[in-house]
Amino acid sequence: MQLLYALKEHNGGKLNSHLWFFNAFAEQLNPTYTVLVDVGTIPAESSVFRLIRSMERNYQIGGVAGEIAVDKPNYFNPVVAAQHFEYKISNIMDKSLESVFGFISVLPGAFSAYRFEAIRAVKGVGPLPEYFKSLTSTTKELGPFQGNMYLAEDRILCFELLAREGRQWTMHYVKDAIARTDVPETLVDLIKQRRRWLNGSFFAGLFAIGHFGRVWRLSAHSPSRKLVFTLQFLYLAVQNFLSWFLLSNLYLTFYFVLTLALHSPTNATPNAILEVILTVYLAIVGGLLVFALGNKPEPKTASFYLFSCLYLGIVMMVVTGLSFYGLVAKGVTAVDPRQNLTDCPVSKLELTGGVVSSLGLVFMSAFLHGEFSILLSFVQYFFMLPTFVSNLHDLSWGTKGLESGGGHGPAKQAGGNVKDVVAQQKKLEAARQVAAKEKEDVDNSFRAFRSTLLLSWLTTNALWMYIIMTCVATSCYLKYLSYIVACFNIIRFVGATTFLALRICRRFGIGGCVKGVSKDTYDRQLPPEWQAHRTGQAARFRPQETLQPSPRGPYNAV
């Protein structure tokens, strides 16, 4: 195996390294496949081979993702154990479902691979230029929406790959390609990481949903495949919509469950306990918003975050326990204090279905995939669930050990006479003033965007809480909330089992299963209107005809 070791003088971040990798090295080496592995990620012995083999068998696959697993999870550390559960369920249910559709919303840069032809720029147009837009554009040019969106540049690359003009690339999840990675072990480090993840995924999701029309207009996918993608994006749109109201729905769930458990028309003590619990909960949420607006999660604020995590986690566990006890043992039979609202009858079948769909399908999917270790971490996950808050004005990457500087450092000034030095100092001072004014304008625009979005988020969630608390009975809200959870989990369970069925089918060559699409078959499947486009693009695609074939065998990968 031929190796080329490249070392940057300064740590400019992961994306800067990818810029060098793709635009400097890959453009010259002209590989068939490119594999991305983060520092701190350890692929298993055959994982890289499995990623490349998946694309080798099916020419239509433009990108693949392996399974990211927590390296040596410490189940006694709730921060690590919660991430272990989250990673497992994300791979089992979400990535399996998306792989069945053919579009994976994010191929993680920690461990993934791309067919270079699928992402390579042609005359400056393609997925890669969009991937590097946050590096090639100034913060002012990006604006606050794209600035936050490109914190999840992996998601943008996946969408650009799917919607590429004249092509029909898909993405695939390779379950057997396992790579273990280190994860944040403290609450402060976890919040720093999720601040970037939540911002980027939310805005990148809005971008993909808003530009989905490009898949129909520009891509060469078949009509049936485009219809499948339409269903998937409808699912993603509903998911994004519900995530917007997650804050209010979490409070409403706490409020209704605790009200049913503690409200008493005759005894004032349970009512007082209920008021204290809900008041402290609202105070903590308000405190988190204040801290998020004015501070970064540093060790100085760690005590407040720790208290918030413990309190919200305890409330979450109490509410979850009361929910299962109320549904399984006696049903929703407690008296709603709002006597003017009509209750919704809940049958025993609906109660059983709610319990099975909320947790049963998750565990069934995990067991079918052979992942029994989630039994040791699901309690920690539910405890940590309500603790994440994001920052909309902070575009820092949150990369561990990232230096404040980048590039190769400032150039040294050459000597000169006094007049030259004075003139140069005046130019530098004028440039500093212009840069300071531009930075102030950009900061003001980001603050205005953050304030507007935050106000909209709080207003809509408060309005939703008011409507539900005044117009909807407790039993009705909990009943229809369980319906929504059931629908999402059923869809994910069907996706997880379908993924397994197709995997077994392809492995044993059962009739009716498509093992892969060869390059010739891929070209023949292109619609007639794209044939000329495909031929012309191929002619422009490899301008350096003098490049010799790689001596590395059939898998020409970088």
Instruction: Look up residue 59 and give its DSSP letter.
Output: T
pLDDT at res. 359: 81
pLDDT at res. 254: 87
The continuous run of DSSP H or E covering 331 comes out as none
* pLDDT score of 107 more than 80: yes
More confident of the two residues 258 and 543 = 258
* pLDDT score of 328 more than 70: no
- For residue 88, with 0-12 CB atoms within 10 Å meaning exposed, 13-18 middle and 19 or more buried, which class applies? buried
The pLDDT > 90 percentage for the chain reads 40
pLDDT at res. 521: 64
> Average pLDDT of 335-355?
67
Q: Give yes or no for a contact between 477 and 260, defined as CB atoms under 8 angstroms apart.
A: no
Distances (CA, A) of 380 to 77, 85, 103, 281: 8, 8, 31, 20
pTM: 0.82
* pLDDT score of 325 more than 90: no
* pLDDT score of 551 more than 60: no
* pLDDT score of 410 more than 70: no
Instruction: Look up residue 20 and give its DSSP letter.
Output: I
**Can you read off the two tokens belonging to residue 118?**
């699928």
CA distance 244 to 335: 30
φ, ψ of residue 63 in degrees (nearest 5)? -155, 145
* pLDDT score of 106 more than 60: yes
- Asked whether the CA dihedral 287, 290, 291, 292 is positive or negative, the reply is positive
pLDDT at res. 404: 41
pLDDT at res. 414: 45
- In the chain, domain spans: 18-236+517-541, 246-393+441-490
pLDDT at res. 539: 42
Mapped to the 3 state alphabet, what secondary structure does 4-15 carry?
CCCCCCCCCCHH
pLDDT at res. 241: 92
CA distance 340 to 123: 67
Poorest-confidence range of 395-409, 471-485, 498-512? Answer: 395-409
Fold assignment, 18-236+517-541: Spore Coat Polysaccharide Biosynthesis Protein SpsA; Chain A (3.90.550)
For residue 101, is it left (φ>0), alpha (ψ between -120 and 50) or beta?
alpha
Poorest-confidence range of 134-148, 382-396, 479-493? Answer: 382-396
**What average pLDDT does the structure give for the chain?**
81
Q: Is 154 an active-site residue? A: yes
Active-site pick, 71, 94, 154, 420 = 154
Tell me whether strands 170-181 and 41-43 are parallel, antiparallel or unpaired. Answer: antiparallel
pLDDT at res. 291: 76
Sheet holding 61-70, edge to edge: 33-37, 111-115, 61-70, 170-181, 41-43
Instruction: Look up residue 125 and give its DSSP letter.
Output: B
> Closest by alpha carbon to 245, among 211, 212, 202?
202
To which residue do tokens 């300071």 refer?
436
Q: Give yes or no for a contact between 556 and 33, defined as CB atoms under 8 angstroms apart.
A: yes
CA distance 233 to 557: 32
* pLDDT score of 343 more than 90: no
* pLDDT score of 375 more than 80: yes
Contacts of 74 (CB under 8 A, 6+ apart): 80, 81, 185
pLDDT tens, 17-70?
999 999 989 999 899 999 999 988 999 999 999 999 999 989 999 999 999 999
Residues found in the chain: 558
pLDDT at res. 401: 41
The continuous run of DSSP H or E covering 407 comes out as none
Q: Residue 301: pLDDT band by 50, 70, 90 thresholds?
A: confident
- For residue 183, with 0-12 CB atoms within 10 Å meaning exposed, 13-18 middle and 19 or more buried, which class applies? buried
More confident of the two residues 387 and 482 = 482
Q: Give yes or no for a contact between 43 and 65, defined as CB atoms under 8 angstroms apart.
A: no
* pLDDT score of 555 more than 60: no
> Average pLDDT of 111-131?
93
pLDDT at res. 407: 44
Q: Residue 298: pLDDT band by 50, 70, 90 thresholds?
A: low
φ, ψ of residue 37 in degrees (nearest 5)? -135, 125
